[in-house]
Structure 1
């Protein structure tokens, strides 16, 4: 069974997932940052694989990943980080990556290394299920989660395919655009979450909906958790780590985690 889904279910459908770039601001600091998320009450971690053409990433994450690439980041470093984090925490660690680095590394080789490091699975923002047979097969072989994205523009047929082929949760894109903190969440997030609920009921798939892109405050986390099982935050964490180090990150973690404690009306 999916360790990620188990963790989301254990949260009572009030999950908080945090994104951090692998290797930022250094490999050692990245490990400590991930541990801070776990200790601060996060449900799961997304470790972003730095990539030279990050089409979905906003400016905060792009700058962080470029800094990491400039110092000579290598994919092995991500696996080393996952092993170090999973040795100290029990929450699932997923890799968020564009598909090209996985292809270049070798799909089954990548899946095997991820599993050996203790990783829970992959989030693949630019890979659709219809083109994902090789990855789906490798994930099944190595018992890894495969998390595909549903967007406001997705057809019902695409949503059904995402639900059927994903394991762990469905990454529910809150708005059309790139990552980054926003003052308010797009109404499209609630509409898409409702569509996912209708389609998962129709096809009989029990898979959590976790909403990402733009979540930066505890109040936004609380709002998202009125209509989804999880909230995903990234740029706010990266900015806090950049500006305040681990202490600054811990303060932001506390604010965001407080949003999971606000009960729905």
Structure 2
């Protein structure tokens, strides 16, 4: 997917590769693939949809790190994209990653059921960038600081972090024939898992959080899976992984 023409674009292609291939846990695509396998709905295009979620996530990180945003010098243990390629190239790389994410899942035709599902997913993906989702979360994050930001943690995370996790769930459901009620329960799981993931990250960074608060978030995610029984074991495994990573304990939290 990242096989861009490196001779064109003034380093934009290299910036894209740098932003995407520089480490990270790939937790969002992992979530998408586990949902697809749980629903026995994995298809060749499922991998591309999962990758598209990661491309959008990486694009958002490039923008987050810019001097006009969070002004971060590093990302994933190395220099932020704009520190290596410059602000202009980093911004263009983020635009290109969003375009690549959408283009990678859009079908050549829209006549079949599967094609229509892919178009719907692409619409959801691009909807992440409207003024009510990731963009709103970043704007609120910039507006608030200190104690105000801590008080608004849930609101910021619901806008800035959770949507990409619910999008990952939808990526795994593209070719599933589940009811809308089932889809909503998995979306609730994705949202709760996303909030738990953000809390674990904040805890690792030494920001205000506690093991008790993290467990509460993880429990909310488990409750969302209540109607899925043993089929949801792969998703319960992700919750155990997150708890173990956050607490440096190789064990289940329940």
Relative to total residues, which structure has the larger strand share, 1 or 2? 1
* Shorter-chain TM-score above 0.5: no
Relative to total residues, which structure has the larger helix share, 1 or 2? 2
TM-score (norm. length: structure 2)? 0.33
Larger gyration radius, structure 1 or structure 2: 2
